[in-house]
Amino acid sequence: MRTLFLCLSAILVATMNAQNAPVTFQSSVAQTALLELYTSEGCSSCPPAETWLSRQKESPGLWKEFVPVAFHVDYWDHLGWRDPWGSKSFSDRQRAYAKRWRSASIYTPGFVLNGKEWSDWPGRKDGPKSSGVKAGVLTVGSSDTNRWQVSFAPANTGAAYTVHAALLGGGLISEVKAGENRGRSLPHDFVALTLVEAALVLHGEAAQGEFVLNAQRNRAEHDLALAVWITPAGHFEPVQATGGWLARRGSVR
């Protein structure tokens, strides 16, 4: 198995190394859903969706049935408030979905479940359930949180795969000074801090690869998690996902 490098912030590395315990995230054979939220601090309709997503921290299906990622877009920044978590690349990701759907517009809040628009969240207490489709086992492991190993043993061989990894921040709070949410204190969880992708190479029955996930923000004092998912090369629709907590306030994994 080839080595997967994951570079976190210096403080996080020091904290995790002090524990000196292996970290492993592994899916079952059944597909774990990838749940994406496209959101912005500049959008007055987004806080309810973010509140719902934050409640999923206590969901029994978290990391097992579904892996959540909140992508903050930047196209509401023109209203007077620059979302500190927003990124043009995340806006472009949402636009790429819209192109695949042949949609002329994008919007927030917008949920995407396994590459498709998902609007069932308002009436649900917990996140989505696994489809039960046999996808294959995705394993990500590290002994020091610096050097990671990833292996995907697909249920159906023959495809070329890409691995995606996002460092997630939680327990984040912004005091919004302008725009549609002016004067509000907005909490956030499962926020994508950085996102990378890399091609996997098939070795025997497992696809393996390596990449660098460079955390641009020092958020070790907040919740931190890792989300990893696999797609066929050239596609956005995930085949399998896994993830878990790296650190939570008052404790470490």
Strands (E), the chain: 3-5, 23-26, 33-39, 66-72, 110-113, 116-118, 136-142, 147-154, 161-170, 172-175, 185-188, 191-199, 201-203, 206-208, 223-232, 240-248, 251-252
**6-18: pLDDT as tens digits:** 332 332 333 334 4
Of the two residues 252 and 172, the one the predictor is more confident about is: 172
Decide: helix, strand or coil at residue 92. helix
142: confidence class by pLDDT, cuts 50, 70, 90: confident
CA distances from 113 to 17, 62, 65 (A): 34, 14, 12
Instruction: Report the 10 Å Cβ neighbour count for 182.
Output: 13
Instruction: Report the 10 Å Cβ neighbour count for 102.
Output: 6
**161-203: pLDDT as tens digits:** 999 999 999 999 999 999 999 999 999 999 999 898 989 999 8
Report the mean per-residue pLDDT for the chain.
Answer: 87
155-162: average pLDDT: 85
User: How would you classify residue 243: left for phi > 0, otherwise alpha for psi between -120 and 50, otherwise beta?
Assistant: left
Strands 66-72 and 33-39: parallel
